[in-house]
């Protein structure tokens, strides 16, 4: 398994988490232990058992296409660090949108 500090550094970057070299050195081995522990599942689950993504064997949980009242905008904005014109204010965006 062996998760390297480089792997953790890259993941931290992708997750927008700033880590100091000291934190990196501390966290990387810890994450490695966690992954090792989870990997032990492989000892009992054979090749013919597909990896599962959910703990319960449910499918097709759906709702009808019905509208329900939204929350008041001011309630939704209450938790925002900053706002303006009834919108969530966010820092300057540098990149182009890649929505979708």
Partner 1 sequence: MSVQYSSDELMDYDEVMERFDVVLGLEVHVELGTRSKMWCGCSTEFGGEPNTHTCPVCLGLPGSLPVVNKKAVESAIRIGLSLGCEIAPWCRFARKQYFYPDMPKNYQISQYDEPIAFDGLVELEVDGTGYEVPIERAHMEEDAGKSLHVGGATGRIQGSDHSLMDYNRAGVPLVEIVTKPIRGTGTKGPQVARAYMAHLRDMVRALGVSQGRMEQGQLRCDANVSLMPKGTTELGTRTETKNVNSLRSVEAALQYEICRQGAVLAGGGRVKQETRMWNEAGGFTTAGRSKEQAEDYRYFPEPDLVPIAPSREWIEQLRAGLPEMPAVKRARLQSEWSFSDLEMRDVNGTEGALDLIESTVAAGCAPAAARKWWLTELARAANERGVLLEDLPIAPAQVAEVQRLVEAGTINDKLARTVLEAVLAGEGSPERIVEERGLAVVSDEGALSAAVDAAIEANPDVAEKIRGGKTQAAGALIGAVMKRMGGRADARRVRELIIAKLS
* Site for partner 1, rule CB under 8 A: 14-16, 53-54, 56, 58-73, 76-77, 79, 83-93, 95-100
Judged by beta carbon, residue 22 or residue 64, the one nearer partner 1 is: 64
Minimum CB distance to partner 1, residue 26 (Å): 23
Judged by beta carbon, residue 48 or residue 95, the one nearer partner 1 is: 95
Minimum CB distance to partner 1, residue 17 (Å): 11
Minimum CB distance to partner 1, residue 43 (Å): 22
- Contact, 28 vs 5, CB < 8 A? yes
User: In angstroms, what CA-CA distances link 99 with 8, 13, 89, 90?
Assistant: 26, 20, 18, 17
Judged by beta carbon, residue 16 or residue 22, the one nearer partner 1 is: 16
Exposure string of 13-42, with b = 16+ CB inside 10 Å and e = fewer, is eeeeeebeeeeeeebbeeebeeeeeeeeee
């Amino acid at each position: 398994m062996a998760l390297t500090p480089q792997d953790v550094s890259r993941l931290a970057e992708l997750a927008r988490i700033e880590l100091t070299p000291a934190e990196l050195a501390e966290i990387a081995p810890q994450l490695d232990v966690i992954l090792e522990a989870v990997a032990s599942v492989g000892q009992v689950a054979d090749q013919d058992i597909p990896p599962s993504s959910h703990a319960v064997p449910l499918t097709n949980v759906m709702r009808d296409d019905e509208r329900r009242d939204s929350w008041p905008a001011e309630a939704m904005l209450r938790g925002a660090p900053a706002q303006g014109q009834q919108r969530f204010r966010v820092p300057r965006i540098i990149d182009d949108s890649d929505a979708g």
